Chains A and B, each alone.
Chain A
Amino acid sequence: MADASDELTRRLARAFSRGVPHNLALGIRSLGVAATEVTFELPYDTKLVGNPDTGTIHGGAITALLDGCSGAAVFAALTELVPIATLDLRIDYLKPAEPGKSVIARATCYKMTRNVAFTRAVAYQDDPEDVIAHSVGTFMLSTKLGKP
């Protein structure tokens, strides 16, 4: 059984980091997918800078990282692959990201009902305890094409 879940893990990781054009464009990489937790990395790049005076990356790039990582956490928790759509995402920005360093996001799907999945995620750089942004999200499950 380990082989099957390893294969699924590899497929998910590939799907999220390579199969999503915006994640690919941002340079987002999947560092790990487990049943309860997904870890993504956003490497530092000058194109992501929001404040040219400080070199700090834009909040929008962190929003994309947390949204993508949270969605991946829902997929990782699903027992069958169904389409999902983000209902809402709230992000608290606790402090600016330090320039020149990757931002890591870690998301979990902590509750799944028949219709809705609930996620929480943190973004950090060196120390998982030293959080730069925190988010909670809700996702609609089994959406029809284009209709949340």
Chain B
Amino acid sequence: MSPALPTTLIDRMIAARAAQDYQGLIDLVPYASWLGLTAAMQGEELITTLRYSEQLIGNPALPALHGGALGALLESAAIFELLWRAETIALPKTITLTVDYLRSGAPVDTHARGVVTRQGRRVTNVRMEAWQADRNAPVATAHAIFLVMRG
């Protein structure tokens, strides 16, 4: 008998993690695919990228990316980092998310990375950063607190 195909999100996530299938992790989340998120390891870092498309525009006059799209990228980068690094057995639940918008987002691809600043027994604090052409000039930074159930 062949092993049963993983059916729940967490089972499929564990399988994707075992296969080092970074993009597979993102494809599990319909909203992430719809938004245009991709993920790839660059050196030791898991970088989440929001591919530019016209539907991400919040201000057509500039044009500039929607603050909500940048917020979603930052939150997703943190969640992917947690799913990738930690021994989570459930999707982390966002308790609070704070975004600082530093520059208007140009209509190009945007990259983001999350860094765990504290991993507690029940909550994890993550700091995030999003940038476009120049990593030293972030378009937005954020921090978030997640409720995380550990295995």
Contacts and interface: CB of A to CB of B under 8 A. Distances in A.
A21 B55 contact: yes
B77 to A, nearest CB: 11
Contacts of B72: 58-61, 63-64
Interface string A83-113: 1011111111100100000000000000000
Interface of A is mostly: mixed
A20 B60 contact: yes
B64 A146 contact: yes
Contacts, number: 141
Given A51-B9, A52-B29, A63-B72, A22 B56 contact: yes
A148 B56 CA distance: 19
Contacts of B114: none
B57 A21 contact: yes
Interface of B: 8-10, 28-32, 34-35, 54-62, 64-69, 71-73, 75-76, 91, 93-104
Interface of A: 19-26, 46-53, 57-61, 63-68, 71, 83, 85-93, 96, 145-148
A-B complex: 6 closest residue pairs judged by Cβ atoms? A64-B68, A60-B72, A22-B66, A25-B55, A58-B31, A63-B71
